[in-house]
Structure 1
């Protein structure tokens, strides 16, 4: 005898499982909640000084107002007009841009070359290279600049001593900063030397993501090392190279410590960068508002690079 199940006695089908919208919304807010402490700290440390600097650039702060605490008179865009119509400012800007391009190009090429070399040496040699570069990277900029200043000193510099040992070359008491080209070569060498560890170690980490099968297949097909580099390695490393290059541009464009220390706190006009020029105008000549205007213009020039860097970061995040 068969028993016919009625709709009332038939077991109900399990309800379809649906993702909870509330949990998704909460998970979407989690990154922002975690970032709030860092954002508050950045707003306190960087936000107020930046706003104060912008306000000061529209005023005429002099030593009298600084000592008395009086409110500086409002001058509008006069400071920006003075800066943008000053040929000295544009000369400093061009010099800063030229230095940035040259130093970043040399740094990236040497950093990539060392990273490629690290993939071909033994593990022990690679470890030694990493440790040595970490020591260079950890060295404070002020200390590194002082070392280079001693090495290129006209009286006691070891560089002059070694070059003077070459037959037919007289470098005794030679000053590297009499000629701007030689002086900038010293500054550029210092900046490149300090920047290579970051680039080499980062690019070496990126090279570990290059599939060995592709390189082996290319070699079996008769590809030269240059062809493998151009057609396999560089396309894979392109996002990483773009990011480290952009970061190097941001760091080198704000050059201050190296030029300032190597010139003993008094950089000549031919060794001025936007950072040192702004500082000199503000604190060397007590033209605080003019120095603030130069700093604001420098920040605006860097905004384009920073926007490009942020866009690249978002693109990499979308790919992943």
Structure 2
């Protein structure tokens, strides 16, 4: 018998098409760039250009004569060398860093504590605390400093009166601003008082995102309040606290209004200058805008370094 061979059936399944060189190019995201353009222009005009002018001025001899029209003289790094070789600059920078550390630590601890307390309060008390924080936050720094200056007034201050009543010793006439240590203690109180509301509100917003069932389960397992905060709550709000910490360091390191106002009330300016007031004194009082520009650039570099550490930490946390 003859066998009939069947033709081999080949599969006609469509193979994936090779895009080849004719692949369509991705379009440039013009829409986001168009939306960001107005903000970028504003940043370039109001921040970028003045910063460029500041850097240029820091390499020039720019004094009172240049203010009235004389051409500035390029002197290279002389301003930076003079500033970095000046012991007063390092003393001012050290005082600024010490004040910043004390103020930031106090602000973060009290702000987080108030935020945790707000989660435990009822609606009425939470509203009262929120309104109090908003009033403190809304008060301008200069106004707050004047009010606190009255509280610590030498002759009629509330603090001296209370201490006199409590201790039985006559505190009336005691000056809190004449001594540099007590001056910075008062300054730290004022700075911390004005910064606590921002930290408290931001932390409270983060605490409201912590799952309640997780906290309840840990409580049933026997975890105490501190253990729940350290092991459960803190990981949820760690990124928020890091942002707040960096912002507070930047803001407190360049504080100006509170220190300048307290010096006007009764502080000794030469012994209580911080970096912000020192820049103003060198630039305006002494008329050396070149040296003031050099100090400002050094401060900008320090703040950029702090910001870079924060950005690097944030990127590492996102990658992990």
TM-score by length of 1: 0.88
Question: How far 1:308 moved relative to its partner?
Answer: 3.0
Question: How far 1:48 moved relative to its partner?
Answer: 1.8
Judging changes above 3 Å, is the alpha-carbon distance between structure 1 residues 311 and 76 closer, same or farther for their aligned structure 2 residues? same
User: Is the 1:108–1:199 contact (alpha carbons within 8 Å) kept by the matching residues of 2?
Assistant: yes
Superposed, 1:51-66 pairs within 5 Å as 51-66=52-67
- More divergent stretch after superposition (190-199 vs 53-62): 53-62
> In 1, distance between residues paired with 2:319 and 2:139?
36
User: Is the 2:55–2:297 contact (alpha carbons within 8 Å) kept by the matching residues of 1?
Assistant: yes
Q: Which residue of 1 aligns with 2:288?
A: 287
Partner SS for 1:154: coil
Stretches of structure 2 lacking an aligned partner (at least 5 in a row): 1-13, 18-22
Q: Which residue of 2 aligns with 1:117?
A: 117
Q: Which residue of 2 aligns with 1:75?
A: 75
Question: How far 1:199 moved relative to its partner?
Answer: 0.3
Q: Which residue of 2 aligns with 1:216?
A: 216
Stretches of structure 1 lacking an aligned partner (at least 5 in a row): 1-12
Question: How far 1:93 moved relative to its partner?
Answer: 0.9
> Are 1:270 and 2:271 counterparts?
yes
> In 2, distance between residues paired with 1:249 and 1:180?
22
CA deviations 1:211-231 (Å, max 9, x no partner) are: 111111111111111111111
TM-score by length of 2: 0.88
Superposed, 1:37-48 pairs within 5 Å as 37-48=38-49
Partner SS for 2:37: helix
CA deviations 1:124-151 (Å, max 9, x no partner) are: 1111111211111111111111111121
User: Is the 1:259–1:267 contact (alpha carbons within 8 Å) kept by the matching residues of 2?
Assistant: no
Judging changes above 3 Å, is the alpha-carbon distance between structure 1 residues 254 and 21 closer, same or farther for their aligned structure 2 residues? farther
CA deviations 1:262-313 (Å, max 9, x no partner) are: 1118752321111111110111111111111111111111111122344456
CA deviations 1:235-286 (Å, max 9, x no partner) are: 1111110001111111101111000001118752321111111110111111
> In 2, distance between residues paired with 1:151 and 1:220?
47
Partner SS for 2:61: coil
Structure ID, larger Rg: 2
> In 2, distance between residues paired with 1:21 and 1:190?
61
CA deviations 1:25-72 (Å, max 9, x no partner) are: 45x4433321111110111111221111111111111212211x1211
User: Is the 2:180–2:268 contact (alpha carbons within 8 Å) kept by the matching residues of 1?
Assistant: no
Question: How far 1:160 moved relative to its partner?
Answer: 1.6
